[in-house]
Amino acid sequence: MKKQNQISEKSYKASGFIGRYQKLVTETVIPWQEKILWDEAPDTEKSHAIANFINAGKALRGEDTGDGFYGMVFQDSDVAKWIESASYSLMNNPDPELEAELDKVIGYIAGAQDKDGYLNTYFTIKDQDKRWTNLHEAHELYVAGHMIEAACAHFEATGKRTLLDVMQKNTECIYDHFVTKNNPGVPGHPEIELALMKLYRITGDKKALELCAHFLNKRGQDPELFIREADHRTWSVWGSNPRDEGDLEYRQCDKPLRELTRATGHAVRAVYLYAGMADYASETEDKELQGACGRLWKNIVERKMYVTGGIGSTVLGEAFTVDYDLPPDTAYAETCASVGLMFFASRMLENELKGEYADVMERAFYNTVLAGMKLDGKRFFYVNPLEVNPGISGIAVTHKHDLPVRPKWYQCACCPPNVARLIESFGKYAYGENESTSFCHMIASGKVVFRNGMTLECETDYPHGMKVKYTVKGNGKLAVEWRAGSSRAL
């Protein structure tokens, strides 16, 4: 299919406002997170994430695993997102020392991969016999998705296949289990869908595309799937029960995806899933899936999104609730959810060149994603309320989650590396292209070199100033998505 808009440009060298944020991530956030992953950061919760990979390698070799596994069941994803943000940083600012550090960590990851391609430190160190038996809670496919995204970014940045080969082998393992052997299951936490689309585009691996289709097509076809899975096991990670009222809607598996009309459940999982749906739909021209994505988008932005671009209004399950339930003082509005909303918007732009998608990306980025990180790069909001009440917020039981001050790194650290990877890859969302036209979706100072032969330089103080100057070189046209939602070719 000839796409209307590809989300990836050849290169973007940021300056101005975005350049300053990328500099902060490169010089402060990435080194700080690396220290955390190695448990070397003072006064910070233990991560143990890299040690988990080292110990998993020992387990596979039959050696003593020492202090074993520590952390959340999805702890591997912290390393994956750090690799992804560090890889994007290398695209913007080549750094031999950082590249060598990535090579070392990737070596530990490769050493933790089982001979059949399986890769997950929790199940390799603790429960090898329980693999694939708790998709409802255990995040195996979610972790694999983040590792695939990291592999794609690392290959784009360095041309090295070290991690890409690991994750292609892991994808083969997953494909064999769910497609070839037809074992039942879909991701309890969607994410791998959008990752598989990245892998397919980079490698041309048809199995990645087929596996994405498999998970999308199977989801919701059998609403009792997780219930039967729970009936066949005697263990749990979180103690959640798929028989609980609303659990199927919460996990976006109550009906086939092409029948969905409204956004439900865990907000991050939802927009990760919807991004994968939109991505697959644009690649395959699946009109039914495109229609579902359009309905879900409309439901979110017209009925369930804060003015800041925050989504997921309740702390109970970090979830969407009913239409127009958007309290300012008890808002959850997880930073990761707005990152995911940007993913969804960018994939919708692949299906339809419409300024509304770019407007929502911009709103979420400036008001929630950036707000999720302090300017020192070491403190982060997980929750983004619109209103803080002194003496109540962070204290009263109803407002415990709404903190007035950004905390340091925490053990469930999905948001900080998510912010870092998005800032470093900002050009992929600000600019797009097809064979003849280049698109500017968000105003961003810097220079862009497109694959279609065009070069664009943007000079602006935006968002602090409204004057924008574009200098365009090369053949083709440049389309700028203006705030009114129309597009204009320069």
Active site residues: 318, 414
Q: What's the token pair of residue 448?
A: 């862009």
- Candidates 24, 18, 22, 23; CA nearest to 379 is 24
Distance CA 248, CA 317 (A): 13
Query: Which residues, 6 or more positions from 281, have their beta carbon under 8 angstroms from its beta carbon?
Result: 287, 289, 290, 293, 351
Let me know: does 12 contact 430? Beta carbons within 8 Å. yes
Q: Give the up-direction half-sphere exposure of residue 383: CA atoms within 13 A in the CB hemisphere.
A: 25
Query: Which residues, 6 or more positions from 96, have their beta carbon under 8 angstroms from its beta carbon?
Result: none
Distance CA 201, CA 212 (A): 12
- Surface-to-core class of residue 231, CB atoms within 10 Å of its CB (0-12 exposed, 13-18 middle, 19+ buried): exposed
Distance CA 97, CA 103 (A): 10
Order the strands of the 477-481 sheet from edge to edge.
431-433, 437-440, 477-481, 487-489
Let me know: does 276 contact 148? Beta carbons within 8 Å. no
Q: How many CB atoms sit inside 10 A of residue 315's CB?
A: 17
**Greatest distance between any 2 Cα atoms in the chain:** 64
Q: How many CB atoms sit inside 10 A of residue 266's CB?
A: 22
